[in-house]
Chains A and B, each alone.
Chain A
Amino acid sequence: MENLIYKATKSTPDINLNAADNLIEITGQSYPEDSTTFYQPIFSWIKEYLSQTTAKVNVKFKLVYLNTSSSKCVMTILDLLEDAHAEGKEIVVNWHYDSENDAALESGEDFREDLDLNFNLVED
């Protein structure tokens, strides 16, 4: 399966989706006004990847800032991961945040709540 890589812009994050390394990485800032259109190819890639993989999946989020529509998209990604986990796939999610950025920690805590996934908050 081909990798999906986007370079960051001011309002969209670095996307590194790598099937060979079993890595899903989203790093940077995310505040496009139409997040759904930006994240659609990412949803598709993750869905297809999760349907094929048998390996342990490492997911890294490091988002300095995300607007509400991006939060909604991250939630959608976590839902896909949760479904895969329910089917028996091994998934580890690490949510990285800067110690001085309370909002990034709070977002991580919001996502972690009620989520049936191995989800860790990692202070950088």
Chain B
Amino acid sequence: MKIEDLYSFNNQLNRDGILYCYSGPFTRGIVEEIGEMMRRKIEKETNSMNTSMKVFSVFVEQVQNIMNHSDGKIQETQEEASYSEGIAIIGKSGEDYYTLCGNLVDKTKKEIIENSIIEINKLDKAEVKQLYKQKLKNDELKVGKGAGIGLLDIARKSNEPLKYHFHDVDDKYVFFSLYVKITNN
């Protein structure tokens, strides 16, 4: 980016109501710091612990999905741990909030991700809750991975269908974006 372009970049972030935007490798510390700071800010703004906790939990699940599943990785040397890369945005739209996260995904996984979102979007609130509880109680625990119920939990916290987008990058990867609206209440 050129130095003279930063001002318009910053203006665009403001215009889109973006409160926080992070792009790069995700670490535990980054999730904790952005998460806690954003939670305090939103609780102050809305005077609602419920809204701030919802935005916080959607953010954590989305970013941990990137950490556990992103195919965009940074690894300097063979001995070093690899970090998952992606972008995470928390923004405001009118009185409500949204999270928008994206990361590189291997093309072969596109269909699996897309189908699970389509299936979740077909369900009403009560059905999402039911399926979440069923998976919470019956699915096996996997070491080193999440619970596989992150998307369901995200859907529980939102009052709108999950919005997603895949952008073709090259022969091997697509860029997966997920937008989640959280109603302030």
Q: A103 interface residue, CB < 8 Å from B?
A: yes
A70 to B112, CA, bound (A): 24
A 37-49 to B, binary, CB cutoff 8 A, 1 in contact else 0: 1000000000000
Tell me which of B16-24, B116-124, B135-143 binds A.
Answer: B135-143
B 40-52 to A, binary, CB cutoff 8 A, 1 in contact else 0: 0000000001100
Shortest CB-to-CB span from A75 to chain B, Å, is 6
Please pick, from A10, A73, A101, A113, the residue contacting B141 in the complex, using a CB distance under 8 A.
A73
Q: A2 interface residue, CB < 8 Å from B?
A: no
- Chain B residues with CB under 8 Å of A103's CB are 50, 53-54, 57
Tell me which of A16-24, A26-34, A52-60, A86-94 binds B.
Answer: A26-34
Report yes or no: B137 in contact with A36, Cβ–Cβ below 8 A: no
Please pick, from A10, A68, A75, A100, the residue contacting B146 in the complex, using a CB distance under 8 A.
A68
- Chain A residues with CB under 8 Å of B173's CB are none
Interface residue tally for chain B (C-beta within 8 Å):
32
Q: Which partner residue on chain B sits nearest A98 by CB separation?
A: B49
Q: B2 interface residue, CB < 8 Å from A?
A: no
Report yes or no: B67 in contact with A72, Cβ–Cβ below 8 A: no
Report yes or no: A68 in contact with B153, Cβ–Cβ below 8 A: yes
Report yes or no: B136 in contact with A34, Cβ–Cβ below 8 A: no
Please pick, from A72, A75, A100, the residue contacting B50 in the complex, using a CB distance under 8 A.
A100
21 residue pairs of the A-B complex, CB under 8 angstroms, read: A10-B36, A31-B31, A36-B142, A37-B144, A67-B57, A67-B61, A67-B150, A68-B61, A68-B147, A68-B152, A68-B153, A69-B147, A72-B141, A72-B147, A75-B136, A101-B49, A102-B53, A103-B50, A103-B53, A113-B133, A114-B137
